[in-house]
Copies of this chain bind each other. A is one copy, B any other.
Amino acid sequence: MESRCENCIVRQFNSLRAMSKDELKQVSDSKTTKAVKKGEPLFEEGEKLNGVYCVRNGVSKLSKLSANGKDQIVKLATKGEVLGQRSVIAEECTNLSAIAVNDMEVCFIPKESINNTLQKNPNFTLEVLRHMAHDLKEADDVIVNMSQKTVKQRIAEAFLYLKNNFGEDDEGFLALTLSREDISNVVGTATESAIRIISEFKKKGFIHTSGKKVGIKNERKLLELVEGF
């Protein structure tokens, strides 16, 4: 397993690629690698972060607890994504919890390394800015989906999203397996409602399931549903 950031492939996907050799060396020297087991938190809502987490492997859900006691999953972050950036930059406590959806391997980079580069290397700052601009656009889209689409449409969309972003395994099941509860927390609905709609999709032949695993059988039908028939 390669442990120098300079040689890490993951870096190609995130803003760290805009760092100079020296800066990268410094990050590499100060970083620590950490294994996080499924279900364990990287950090929790309200914590003050002393650095950011670069995901090498596995998937993390970023969620926020609502007043009614339910978690809302705002984003699923995978290989290459950097978590905690927002709160390190704004120097605030995190507004989100990050919990491993499956076993993960992450690198923790102390905020000093980040802040230092932010102040000295405009290219890096600009790169981070571009990423954040992208995240903001995605967040706007989520807002519109949440408020204008039905639960059925949101679940159909979630399955298509999972296929496009995480792919399928050999047997044609979605590579990222989420519990029914996680699915309901992604689309913002009651777990029972999510289960019911999943059953309906199964009956209609849009998907097939095996335990928690879900496979897409009729992508076109799901797409039509999302678009509103």
A contact set with B: CB distance below 8 Å = 64, 66-68, 70, 72, 74, 85-87, 89-90, 92, 95-96, 118-123, 125-126, 128-130, 132-137, 139-149, 187-189, 226-228
Q: How far is the CA of A114 from the CA of B58 in the complex (A)?
A: 38
Whether B68 lies near A228 (C-beta < 8 A) is yes
What separation, in Å, do the CA atoms of A121 and B118 have in the docked complex? 11
Q: Are A144 and B86 within 8 A (Cβ)?
A: no
Contact A68 B148 (CB under 8 A): yes
Q: Is the interface of A mostly helix, strand, loop or mixed?
A: helix
Contacting residue for A67 out of B86, B129, B149, B187, CB 8 A: B149
Check A72–B143 contact: CB distance below 8 A.
Answer: yes
Instruction: State the number of copies, please.
Output: 2
Q: Which residues of chain B have C-beta atoms less than 8 A from A146's C-beta?
A: 143, 146-147, 188
Query: Is the pair B95, A140 in contact by a Cβ cutoff of 8 Å?
Result: yes
The answer, among B122, B135, B188, for a CB contact under 8 Å with A120, is B122
Residue numbers in B under 8 Å from A87 (CB-CB): 133
Question: A206 → chain B, closest Cβ, in Å?
Answer: 19
Q: Which of B74, B133, B149 contacts A144 (CB 8 A)?
A: B74
Nearest chain-B residue to A86 (Cβ)? B133
Q: Is the CB of B139 within 8 A of A132?
A: no
Bound together, the chains give a CA A123 to CA B121 distance in angstroms of 10
A67 to B119, alpha carbons, bound, how many Å?
A: 42
User: Once bound together, how far apart are the Cα atoms of A126 and B187, in whole Å?
Assistant: 33
Partner of A136, one of B67, B118, B121, B132: B132
Q: In whole angstroms, what is the CA distance A137 to B75 when docked?
A: 13
> For residue A129, which residues in chain B have a CB less than 8 angstroms away from its CB?
89, 118, 125, 128-129, 132
Task: List 6 A-B pairs, minimum CB-CB distance, nearest first.
Answer: A147-B188, A66-B148, A139-B139, A90-B133, A125-B125, A146-B146
Complex contacts, A120 vs chain B, CB 8 Å: 122
Complex contacts, A142 vs chain B, CB 8 Å? 143
CB distance from A145 to the nearest CB of B (A): 8
- Cross-chain pairs A/B with CB under 8 angstroms, 8 sampled: A64-B140, A85-B133, A90-B130, A92-B137, A95-B137, A122-B122, A125-B125, A132-B132
